[in-house]
Structure 1
Amino acid sequence: MRRIFFRLGLYLAVMTITFLAAAQMGQAQDSGGAWYEVESGALREPENTQDIQRRTPRETVRKFIALTKDGQFEDAAHYLNLSDLPPERQAEDGPRLARQLALVIERQLWIDWAGLSARPDAMLETGTSNNALAGKPRRDIGLKMVELDGQAYEIRLGRYKAPDRDAVWLFTPQTVQNIPALFDAFGPRHFERYIPDKLTVQLGGLRAWEWLLIPVMLAALFGLGWLVWRLVGFFAARVSRQLIRQAIERSRFPLAMVAVAAAAQIMLEIGVSFSGPATTLLRPVLLIVMVAGIGITALKIVDAILDRITLGVVGDIDDTRSLDERELYTSIYAIRRVIVLLMVSIAVIVVLARLNLFGSLGMSLLASAGVLTVLLGIAGQAVLGNIMASLQIALAKPIRIGDSILFEGNWAYVESIFYTFLRLRTWDERRIIVPVKYFVSQPFENWSVKDARILKTITIFLDHRADMEILREVFFDIAKADDDVIEHDKLFTAITGHFEAGQEMSFYAMCPDPSTGWSTSMRLREKLLKHIREEHPEWWPQDRVELDRPPRKRGDGRDAALEDKNASKDNE
């Protein structure tokens, strides 16, 4: 028993010593890497330390904004690291820089308070394990990155500690140096001097005059887009060359999008400076609209060129075209899909680069690639499956544009192959839209996989008395006289069925393609039926009825023979 208590006490002592050693090591590590060491006197100390709270990043930003809104710019200057300024200028320039920074933050920064750390060491919680910095103390935090004249400017917080003083969070010296340039680019515009004070109050995150100006600006942009749309159409109607006219006509709407987005960008850069929430939403949307408009314009021009090539080289596509021509048309559609993929990829890269999202999303995307793969696989299973099936068709070519196929009882031509669906044109000019994934998973007949020839079958039901030898000669004469029947040596006839009511006769003729074969088979059937109707009407199918007769008497052969003769006449 004593041994048990002795071992338990020894175990607790070892655990206590280990815990204290680990805590001491953690403190030593925190003191060496969780802040920037500065010299004594490098940081301005406020007279009233109770009102100036700078222990955490969230506290620093919140107090700075609150002080600048109240006009206490001298106190707000204590949240700036002015160590790069000469000491004699810090007291004079500090309040001015604090006011300018507050205006820049108001116009450009939409603060994510939940994401702004409330810990002195700014450590990310372990729950965010997809971030490489999770579980580690941080000594600087980036709030906003903007680009001006090809150079990056950042609003950033840093943690600083002077000897014998607590560590504090301040706006970094680099941020202080960037304030004048940021203020010139995003500060108040000249027209704001004439705005009444009543319209400068905050309402729902925006100022009152912004709520009035945004609808006016949207209406002006809509009018500009309509004007560009009309001008492009007016210009396209006066172009003589069909290819250029078609390309310009198709680009009317995307060009209007580009014009509207560009005008809005110019208004934001030069004339109007909205608050942070509006700017944060408008700039990415305008950038996406502009990139999308340029991409769609380029795609429309490429489509016009490809259509022109198709009409000039191939013409209208159906199964009468050669295999090489249908291969060319299918390859043109495959090129278009590749171009679309490249344009979408380039557009995504441009948007991410312009919005400076690579730095913040790169590690997260790499670390969470498995999760994203699962989510995309579940959410986009149908779309991705159709796209993969479309690429499978483009590579393996089980069907081509213009192929004649029989799909689920419908005889149709493959008119178009898109990313997610196929468009089939039936013989009676109907359009069947089939998802690509569903199409490749179902059996179908491709009558043009080798060539367009097809052996058409004409089936006729006639009475037992119909003579196949006579009809065979008639069919051969009719088929050989028809210009659309090829390979006369393939002509063939046979009785393919026999029933109680009659017999089934089949006639076979080779035709150059399915569409010609359909019309030819109708024509041959009509001529065969006309011959039977005029020359052998007794060959039409007839119904036979067997009547009940009384038993014949023995020895009365004359009466029995007469009765059989009358019955035969009645049946006829």
Structure 2
Amino acid sequence: MTKDILLAHPWFAPCLAALIAVPLALVVHRIGGMVLLRLTRHAPVVHAMLLNIQGPARFVLPLIALQMVWQAAPEDLAFINSVRHVNGLLFIAAATWLAIRAVNGIADGVLAKHPHDVEDNLQARRVLTQTRVLARTAGTVLLVAGASLMLMTFPGARQVGASLLASAGVIGIVAGLAAKPVFSNLIAGLQIALAQPIRIDDVLVVEGEWGRVEEITGTFVVLRIWDDRRLILPLSYFIEKPFQNWTRSSAQLLGSVFIYADYGMPLAPLREEVERIVKSAPEWDGRFFNLRVTDATDRTMQIRVLCTAASSSLAFDLRCTVREGLIDFMQREYPQFLPRLRVEGGPQSQAEVEAAAPSTTRLSSASRG
């Protein structure tokens, strides 16, 4: 009797179909995933994407199977519309998750093909910056689109969902709204990804601080200062304000060292010493160096040394090495020509000495007299 009642229940056939469809979908996911991973072993981008979407696909395929079962159920079945609605919401959420993971997987595959931990990593850093910024931007757009589609399934919220979806589709219009910093940063992120005024690991001088670009997010840039502090700047800063990029086209840099010496200092020994110091320094890249007198004051002459290095950090170390070497050389060989204040003239009378002395000294002498 109970068995007959159960078999006659209108929900029996849909539930039985659902119990069969879900395991079948999971089997398809398992076998299909193994086959696709094996076929894409030599395609790192697609392989990385498939690895990333395995988790979401485990939910998407059963939800698709369930939605097919509910759609095939009779229209007069009690609560079928609510079940279809809930299943549809879960499917949209899972599909959005899968799409975001797919974008991240493609980004991981692209980055794996362009490792940036090599000596000449200029091209790799370009790819790294573009990939990360575009992946985060695409993830944001997909998330907004998914939320909009879920809202549009509710009759009372369709207008709100349509508005959000339209905003995601014409987001370039929002760039003109200065009161929307989030969208402004989103557009700035796209500009940075395409034009690349900065890249990951670029050496910048911003707000008087020297550092490397450590991270570029969807809204801000993290600059690692030389003393391990972090400077956080919005993306729009690098579109609207000037800054120095020491590695824009190449990491090679020309460093300068300035020292001051008395006019009696011969230049030939200094040039020989500069050549010896630079050529023996491991930081020098072998491109160029020279020594020139670039300025002269009433007391000293300004001597400039130029030398090249393969990166900004090596250039800094090379400048310090050259500066220390020249100071040591002058202290050892020509100490008499180090900068000093000289006072020349014959013996002065007592009146001239008192006139040149501070007023407090004259007052003291008067009181003693």
Same fold by TM-score greater than 0.5:
yes
Partner residue in 2 for 1:535? 333
Could you list the per-position Cα deviations for residues 15-37 of structure 1 after superposition, in whole angstroms to 9, with x for gaps in the alignment? xxxxxxxxxxxxxxxxxxxxxxx
Residue 415 of structure 1 aligns to a residue whose secondary structure is strand
- The answer to whether structure 1 residue 336 and structure 2 residue 135 are counterparts is yes
C-alpha deviation, 1:294, in angstroms: 7.9
C-alpha deviation, 1:485, in angstroms: 1.3
1:508 maps to a residue whose letter is: L
Residue pair 2:104, 2:135 contacting (<8 A) in 1 also:
yes
CA distance in 2, matches of 1:364, 1:474: 72
Residue 501 of structure 1 aligns to a residue whose secondary structure is coil
Partner residue in 1 for 2:36? none
Q: How does the TM-score come out when normalised to structure 2?
A: 0.60
- The answer to whether structure 1 residue 523 and structure 2 residue 321 are counterparts is yes
CA distance in 2, matches of 1:339, 1:493: 52
Partner residue in 1 for 2:154? 355
Using a 3 Å threshold, how does the CA distance of structure 1 residues 313 and 397 change in structure 2: closer, same or farther? closer
1:511 maps to a residue whose letter is: A
Residue 192 of structure 2 aligns to a residue whose secondary structure is helix
CA distance in 2, matches of 1:502, 1:524: 20
CA RMSD between the two structures: 4.3
Partner residue in 2 for 1:174? none
Residue 336 of structure 1 aligns to a residue whose secondary structure is helix
CA distance in 2, matches of 1:545, 1:516: 42
C-alpha deviation, 1:290, in angstroms: 10
Q: Which runs of 5+ in 1 are unaligned?
A: 1-180, 182-242, 259-283, 367-372, 552-572
CA distance in 1, matches of 2:198, 2:251: 13
- Structure with the larger RCO, 1 or 2 (CA within 8 Å, 6+ apart): 2
CA distance in 1, matches of 2:348, 2:159: 104
Partner residue in 1 for 2:292? 494
Partner residue in 2 for 1:92? none
Partner residue in 2 for 1:67? none
Partner residue in 2 for 1:482? 281
Q: Which runs of 5+ in 2 are unaligned?
A: 1-9, 11-47, 60-84, 166-171, 350-369
- The answer to whether structure 1 residue 396 and structure 2 residue 195 are counterparts is yes
- The answer to whether structure 1 residue 406 and structure 2 residue 205 are counterparts is yes
Indicate the structure (1 or 2) with the bigger Cα radius of gyration: 1
Aligned-pair identity in percent equals 28
- The answer to whether structure 1 residue 465 and structure 2 residue 264 are counterparts is yes
Using a 3 Å threshold, how does the CA distance of structure 1 residues 428 and 293 change in structure 2: closer, same or farther? farther
Partner residue in 1 for 2:249? 450
1:539 maps to a residue whose letter is: F
Using a 3 Å threshold, how does the CA distance of structure 1 residues 412 and 377 change in structure 2: closer, same or farther? same
Using a 3 Å threshold, how does the CA distance of structure 1 residues 351 and 472 change in structure 2: closer, same or farther? same
Residue 456 of structure 1 aligns to a residue whose secondary structure is strand
Could you list the per-position Cα deviations for residues 183-234 of structure 1 after superposition, in whole angstroms to 9, with x for gaps in the alignment? xxxxxxxxxxxxxxxxxxxxxxxxxxxxxxxxxxxxxxxxxxxxxxxxxxxx
- The answer to whether structure 1 residue 510 and structure 2 residue 308 are counterparts is yes
Using a 3 Å threshold, how does the CA distance of structure 1 residues 423 and 362 change in structure 2: closer, same or farther? closer
C-alpha deviation, 1:431, in angstroms: 1.4
1:432 maps to a residue whose letter is: L
Partner residue in 2 for 1:558? none
2:243 maps to a residue whose letter is: F
CA distance in 1, matches of 2:148, 2:249: 43
C-alpha deviation, 1:406, in angstroms: 1.9
Partner residue in 1 for 2:240? 441
Partner residue in 2 for 1:314? 115
Residue pair 2:258, 2:303 contacting (<8 A) in 1 also:
yes
Residue 231 of structure 2 aligns to a residue whose secondary structure is strand
Residue pair 2:274, 2:326 contacting (<8 A) in 1 also:
yes
2:321 maps to a residue whose letter is: R
CA distance in 2, matches of 1:531, 1:376: 59
C-alpha deviation, 1:457, in angstroms: 0.5
CA distance in 1, matches of 2:95, 2:314: 45
Could you list the per-position Cα deviations for residues 533-569 of structure 1 after superposition, in whole angstroms to 9, with x for gaps in the alignment? 2222223221223567459xxxxxxxxxxxxxxxxxx
Q: How does 1:37-436 map to 2 (within 5 A)?
A: 299=100, 303=104, 306=107, 310=111, 313-316=114-117, 321-357=120-156, 359-360=158-159, 380-436=179-235
Q: How does the TM-score come out when normalised to structure 1?
A: 0.40
CA distance in 2, matches of 1:444, 1:292: 42
CA distance in 1, matches of 2:191, 2:246: 20
CA distance in 1, matches of 2:290, 2:164: 67
Using a 3 Å threshold, how does the CA distance of structure 1 residues 496 and 289 change in structure 2: closer, same or farther? farther
Residue 314 of structure 1 aligns to a residue whose secondary structure is coil
Residue 508 of structure 1 aligns to a residue whose secondary structure is strand
Could you list the per-position Cα deviations for residues 59-93 of structure 1 after superposition, in whole angstroms to 9, with x for gaps in the alignment? xxxxxxxxxxxxxxxxxxxxxxxxxxxxxxxxxxx
Using a 3 Å threshold, how does the CA distance of structure 1 residues 507 and 310 change in structure 2: closer, same or farther? same
Residue 284 of structure 2 aligns to a residue whose secondary structure is coil
Using a 3 Å threshold, how does the CA distance of structure 1 residues 515 and 298 change in structure 2: closer, same or farther? farther
